[in-house]
Amino acid sequence: MNTGFGRTRPRGVFIAMLMLLTLGLAGVIVLEAHRTFLVHRATAEGILQDYARLAANRFAQRTAMALYWDTFSPATYALARAAGTPGTPLPTPEHLATLDPRHVGFLKDAQYAFRFDLRTGALETAGRAPSRAVRQWLCDTLPVHRRTVYDPKERLAAIVRTVEGVPHAIVYTVVTDKGGAPRTILGLDGDPKGFESVYTMPEEKGPLLPRPLTGGVVYDSVGSAIVTDANGVELYRSPVQYTPTFAGRDSVEAMMGGMQVQVALRADLAPKLIIGGMPRSRLPWLLALLALSAGLIIAALLQLRREYELSRLRADFVSGVSHELRTPLAQIRMFSETLLLGRVRSGEERVRSLEIIDQEARRLTHLVENLLHFSRAERQVTRLSPAPTPLASLVSGVVEAFGPLAAARGVALRTELADDVMAPVDADALRQTLLNLLDNAVKYGPEGQTVTVGLAAGDGYARISVTDEGRGIPAADRDRIWQQFYRLERDRGSAVAGTGIGLSVVRELVALHGGRCWVEDGGSTNGAAGRGARFVIELPLLTASERASDPRPGEPAPTGAATGRSAGVPA
Amino acid sequence: MTRILVVEDNPDLAYGLRNNLEIEGYQVEVEEDGTTGLERARTGGPDLVILDLMLPGLDGYRVLR
């Protein structure tokens, strides 16, 4: 047994190590997988940010183109034609609109036309006159803007700016003198809010993202836009706005007003834009797997520990059984040999020797019975034949038979038995049960104690108790002692030999009767060793089939009436 | 007379041993546990000790040591 122990222990440690290693590896894999996911997601998000920036850039470019061709260029062209020559009167925007009805768009919203003389700094306006502050701003801004932004090849430039809380869209062209030197700035002041048609231009003219990327998503539903002027005042906001998770900014070229553009991509477009879709986190699954493997490993480790425990208990059991067999055998042999050799000095000694032989033989019988019950319980083949039995006589019979064994240890047996308690029991099984409890009480209790056997009825149950005056059972052990091979720590390896199966046989037999058993505080006050222990078994007064058919439980079964229908015997 | 100390906790076994040894003509003393057995072996100076191994208190091995 010990060598087997020595062999299984390192193997168990090896298995435990392997499992912990597996768990560790699983943890590392989960970590790695999650890290890979994070990297993939960051890449995908980076790509989407780039796409958003690309969309903003395309939006800005398309706005600049549209403004140039459809709005600014025709307006400045008409203005230059009408007032380009020096000395010609400056037309109002309304007048210009009548001259060229094709380009009414911007002119309709224009407040006034202006002519700024670069040499004198004189500002002439026609239409609704601008405020003094706006005039001042125009005079300050135009020469600088012309120098820094205006491109003579393009022949026009625009300033979109908010002055005194009012947005202005100034578009101008520079008229040169014969020598090519800039002389006059001709321009119009319009409303930048009138550019909405430019921002909402159809997708076909300039999709926000190249079509191969979007896979043919129509119009500008790939993203939403917000346009602000250089001061940050909002000029346009697309009717649909997407949360700017993936958003890019760009600006319309300075010559075309330098408006700021922000484009937010539609979130559910992400899977279309990223090949294979957005990477999804597998973390919940991975964690579930990890938890599952951890659970399995814990279960396996517990099982392993239980196996060790069991093998240790079995080792204890075998040594306990051997010892319990050997002691009575040794006595039987010694006294029978003594008798055979005639080595007795008196008749009294002779009787005493025979008594001991008889008593030890009984003890052996009891032990073997226990082992048989135990092995039947292990194979689950125990068959009981319960018959209505007067319990008081059965109990007192057992106590009487146990008398000599108790007397050998100086233990007094006392009974408190209620009469007329009938219950369907298997007499042999109940006898074995009681003997086990009595044997324990005498074996583990102090010498000279009184063991009390009680019998009472009530509540549909007969209750038999065995109370000793020993040290009692610690509360923590009160459930475990009913398990196979379990013995109290204090009794292991002590002089009290035991097999660890007695109580498990008790529990098995009581359960087969449909009853239950437990141990409680003995409540003993005169026990020197402790408060004692009271082992209680509770047996139903009716058989299982009677309980099922009788609507009034708790009534004792009438004698004789139940003989034919006993539980455990299949009908 | 040769004196024998029997250290045995089982009263029946002790009884049998005592009877048999007394018939053989030895003087027999019985102790029930290891502690008192050891005590008696030291003070009484028996010629022979018959020692059980599983004993309450000190077990046989520890008594021997």
Percent of chain A with pLDDT strictly greater than 90: 20
Instruction: Please write the tens of the pLDDT for every residue from A240-254.
Output: 888 888 899 999 988
Residue A276, Cβ density class (10 Å: 0-12 exposed, 13-18 middle, ≥19 buried): exposed
Q: Do B20 and A349 touch (CB under 8 A)?
A: no
Residue A517's closest CA among A473, A549, A558, A553? A473
What three-state secondary structure class fits A422?
strand
Place of tokens 């307006």: A75
Instruction: Please write the tens of the pLDDT for every residue from A432-441.
Output: 899 999 988 8
Residue, of A342 and A381, whose pLDDT is higher: A342
- Contacts of residue A336 in chain B, CB cutoff 8 Å? none
Position A188: which residue type? L
φ and ψ of B17, to 5 deg: -60, -45
Instruction: Please write the tens of the pLDDT for every residue from A30-62.
Output: 999 999 999 999 998 899 899 999 989 998 998
Chain B neighbours among A 338-377 (CB < 8 Å)? 338, 343-345, 349, 352-353, 356, 359-360
Interacting residues of B48 by C-beta distance below 8 A, sequence separation 6+:
B2, B3, B4, B5
Instruction: Please write the tens of the pLDDT for every residue from A335-348.
Output: 999 999 988 888 89
Q: What is the pLDDT of residue A563?
A: 38
Q: What is the mean predicted confidence (pLDDT) over A195-220?
A: 71
| CA distances to A97, A170, A188, A286 from A94, in Å | 5, 16, 11, 71
Q: What is the pLDDT of residue B8?
A: 87
Averaged pLDDT of chain A: 83
The per-residue DSSP string of A314-329 comes to HHHHHHHHHHHHHHHH
Interacting residues of A545 by C-beta distance below 8 A, sequence separation 6+:
A565, A567
For residues A451 and A489, give the distance between their C-alpha atoms in angstroms, rounded to a whole number.
23
- Please provide the size of chain A in residues: 571
As for the ipTM of the complex, it is 0.85
In sequence order, what E strands does A394-532 have?
Answer: 412-417, 422-425, 450-458, 461-467, 516-521
Q: Do A495 and B20 touch (CB under 8 A)?
A: no
- Contacts of residue A497 in chain B, CB cutoff 8 Å? 54
Q: What is the pLDDT of residue A170?
A: 92
B53 touches chain A (CB under 8 A): no
> Hey, which of A69-73, A125-129, A212-216, A523-527 has the most confident mean pLDDT?
A125-129
Percent of chain B with pLDDT strictly greater than 70: 100
| CA distances to A16, A287, A351 from A294, in Å | 12, 10, 67
The pTM is what? 0.53
Q: What is the mean predicted confidence (pLDDT) over A417-425?
A: 87
* pLDDT for B41 beyond 90: no
Q: What is the pLDDT of residue A570?
A: 39
Q: Do A345 and B56 touch (CB under 8 A)?
A: no
Q: Which of the 8 DSSP states describes residue A131?
A: P
φ and ψ of A471, to 5 deg: -80, -5
Split at pLDDT 50, 70, 90, the class of A332 is very high
Split at pLDDT 50, 70, 90, the class of A103 is low
| CA distances to A222, A229, A246, A259 from A206, in Å | 13, 22, 20, 18
B28 touches chain A (CB under 8 A): no
Selecting from B16, B23, B54 the residue whose C-beta is nearest the C-beta of A495 gives B54
Q: What is the mean predicted confidence (pLDDT) over A162-172?
A: 89
Split at pLDDT 50, 70, 90, the class of A497 is low
Q: What is the pLDDT of residue A571?
A: 33
CA angle B21, B24, B29 (to 5 degrees): 30
Instruction: Please write the tens of the pLDDT for every residue from A110-146.
Output: 889 999 998 898 898 998 889 999 999 999 999 999 9
